[in-house]
Structure 1
């Protein structure tokens, strides 16, 4: 967990994720995209729907990969192949056909023609299917399917996969010529939508805005490895979200209320909601000290110092208490503030003063 107290470096840009209602307008959404493995591994996951990823603002969940098998693991129900396309390696989970696990062949009567045996031909087809689906290290595999994240690792859940016979590398050469063209013509061109469609899809809705803001903070804390921060250190990260919200007209603002909240107030409220979500998920921990906690901290300091003193009856000097409180609680505690708390504790009979500057626990 991270402690909301310290500071960290701010990100200068906020990534735009299109609303989920508009993803279907992108032709890449329902296509098997021929992306490089390195891009699949680094795609940003959607903050709206799990299992959806974005490459250059294009929503993607299905990919098509051609590469060499560099490792394999086999289970009773699937093969796990490591596919290397030259840019990276990704796991491909390839499920076995149930017929592979059947014992024997189904009983099929022989045909009247002696030169054609349906059972034999069916067996040959199954053997050919098994041969094309059972790969060894160094063989060429083409796999298509949706992308999933399991145990913080990207994988392809294969819907189709087969061994590619490419003795003269004709398939690989064709692939290496087609994929760069797809990048230039489709993948590297951002997915742009008309601004009117954003308003129809509820781009400025509270739930969508809160989801985007939460994702921004999560990415910031993960990428920058922040361990301590204060809320006002990160609120500028959400400023572009608030500034992009549509402004109400004068007629909409008119009414018995005091008026719409200012952008600064909206920013503070959005930040508080995001931090609460992060706390509920256990990603951050807020360091809050109420009055009772401060009093308890001072009592612990006095008790600890008394045990270490040779003459405990004399009590602890106020400067020793101040130094201990500053180490345990905050360096900003002043002597005057400590004296007020000590007087309150003495009035409650929690401590007693043995002199003008010495205190001990009853």
Structure 2
């Protein structure tokens, strides 16, 4: 049920732990929280946002309760006073409609549970301690430490998308990482994220701005992470695995597409592959032998997907391919 203000007294108001813009990050926000009745009655009211309450550091808007109904009492929501109108509008009728709508919206939807042996209640009694121990009683906070992989992931993803967009729009066929680090539009994205990471680094004081050395190091590392992510995705690859070597854009490397298609075309006619098609790992092995030993499986898979999209090959079963 939605939490009503009738169960909260003014003295129970509390300052919110975090700004409301961060409440959606809490997995408990917006779900039906299964709380003890005692804790529901003691929820703290949010000052800036009506209808939001707090159990410790968790914003609560709805609760799910289970119990035995022992009493039902209905109370009037408000009184309506009206008079006739000279313009043909029946004010009393309109107020009655509003009253009915308000009453219908305020009704609680109760689901009757037929549970003669108290199975549901026992299950709830066992579930609640687990929920409190693992979720409700744990402090909700946003980790800003740059060593947190989750905090590093979003800046990397942002730069990764921007690099991918840059490669496509400019028809880039190959590049060195240091060349990317000289592109203003890419550096701008990286710089914005890295300044934030440096500001929240444990060694950084709030009074001092982040040093240029800290930001430069973070920018370089962020580019490395983004480039590695693009490699794992198969967007780019290296003929020779080394950080200083040239990166090739998979979609633009026509020779790789040509070699891969020929392997599928030739080997799918062999007796052992004629029925099911060439298996993926066989194609990877042949590509590495005929084209370059440094080609990743992700890059080969991307080439196969592109060839299939262009109707040059077809997949016959799970990761088996033949010519169309």
Same fold (TM over 0.5): no
Return the index of the structure with the highest Cα Rg.
1
Calculate the TM-score normalised by the size of structure 2: 0.31
Answer 1 or 2: which has greater strand percent.
1
Calculate the TM-score normalised by the size of structure 1: 0.28
Answer 1 or 2: which has greater helix percent.
2
